[in-house]
Structure 1
Amino acid sequence: MITKLNLDTIEIEGFDYIMGVKFRQSEIFEMILDEDLDKNWDKEEYKKMKIQEKTITIKEFLCWKIQTVLTEKELGKAPVKLMNIVNKLKNKDEVKYREVKDSLEKQTDDKKIYRKISTLIRKYSGRYEKKVRGVICLNEAKKKVMKKKRELKLSEISTKLEDMFSKITDKDEVKQIEMKIIKVFEGSRNMYKKFYTINYDETTNKANGYEINNKELTKEEKYDGIFVLTTSREDISKEKVVESYKNLKEVEVLFDDLKHFVDIHPIRHWLEKRVRAHVMLCILGLLLKRIFEINYLKGKATMQPLEEISKSKLVRYEVKFSKKNDLKKIFPKITQTTPEQMQLFNLVGIKNPMSLEKFSW
């Protein structure tokens, strides 16, 4: 598998490649995805996916990034002098700090910005004329699943936070509250932390509530269902790029399911046999998921059926036999199943879902 660590070596050796891009961690592909993607999708879908491609040079990226930096600092449009310097760059050229400083002096005297931009330009030294080809793919079904999955997870985390904040008292120390917040976001929930802003009391510096970070949430929704491929080959079609990567993508999807759907994560086991047992159970869970998808759902994702089944609840009725003593009995009952739920239960061999109450504890 090609990674960012050995990509430079592969290019130096002259090998061609097709690889998936973690575009949330790539500033170059941040530029490619910054445009209005809806305008550029191909009219005809390819294997139930919308695809489009874009090729940019490192010089074009640097111009975009410099403008982004200045916009974030509310410094207006990038100076023409600096843009001309970047646009004329050849691979062998070098840009000195003094050139950047002279170009920006009329807009700002902030030396941190001078250093940031000059460091950015030097970072891509020797590659200014290099072309980067990106093939962007959108799976509409996956997009809906990802959005629904995130909404469910955010609802779960928000409930935990509300419960935690409701139990905080004046006796709780700042450190104790912070530890409780860390516990809410432990494990696979940590990836959702960026969607929350914790509020603090100005006097005590204690956390006293939270808000949803709508800006980060909107940005994430834009990427739902999207994956990006890049390749050194310019002679093959974007459809061929997608087809060539398909087998590797299947492997990556399985690893993603292990991390998030099955929720395999750092565990509190130290004995080898217990770690092996935990991993084996996760693999079995993944195997059952894939069997269900392939044999019963014809390759579709399992999230929608699971969401439907999750609406079926176990209710425990507690009946007291006498007011004079504590004699009582608990009767577990399953809520009435819908026709859709019954169909899904039947698919996996459960003819009478109401009998599940016998297996509850």
Structure 2
Amino acid sequence: FGMVVGDLKKRYPIQKVILVGDRGMVSEANLDQIRELGMEYIVGVKLRKSKKAQELLSIRGPYKKVLPNLKVKSKKIDGETYVLCYNPDAEERDRASRQVVLENLQSKLDELGPSGLVKNRAYSKFLTIEKASAKIDEEKVSNDEKFDGKYAIRTNSSLTDEEAALAYKELWRVEQAFRNLKSNLELRPMYHRVESRIRGHIMVCFFALVMESFLAYKLKEIGCQTSVKDILHDVSQMKASKIRVNGEEQIVRTELQGQANLAFEALVTQAPPRVLEKNTCH
């Protein structure tokens, strides 16, 4: 890991870099190496398993609002800032999901008894086993409620709580980019064997990703709610044909239709996009 980061620092002479990583990506050993390299980081924490992070749950006082669906609290612990992030929408989803599990659990208990459920993690965490019987443990249910809509991050950076939370929230864009490379842009499977062709294939996919990201940015800038995926679908419906006119070959294509037509028309004119009947671009 240290070699990779060191190589990146040599190739890209950027003055300040903050590494952002998900909960399962960064170990304590990696964090030690990042600190030794004099770099900063923002990483996710497994809130249910980290005693340090769980100290955040006992912080009194209101959350600081960052976005309608993001509020934060923080605490300095062993030289790092731990930030508790709270999403009210996710809290509702977690509560509803648990309720479904509990209803199914009681039904399964009545039907199968404890033996058929103890190996199911979704069920067993709410159970208390006593000899040959089992019942739903209300204390465990109450404890689980404390985590509804919450996740934690830790950072050694000088960013504010709000900035750190927003930076971590943007991690999904990187993950989406990798998904696009593997699926939409068809980075894999790769059928080339010559190194130059492999490099060329990856470069073309990278340029496509940059263009897709730029298109998404421009659509947002003009207020168009249509997704890039929908536009690319409409573009894929275009057909090209080779025809001969007066003895000369020409290539003609079908017209751009649907959301793609409206979006590109708006991009050219920089005017608010017109609306189709389905109202998907407004």
* TM-score, with length taken from structure 2: 0.49
* TM-score, with length taken from structure 1: 0.39
Which is helix-richer, 1 or 2?
1
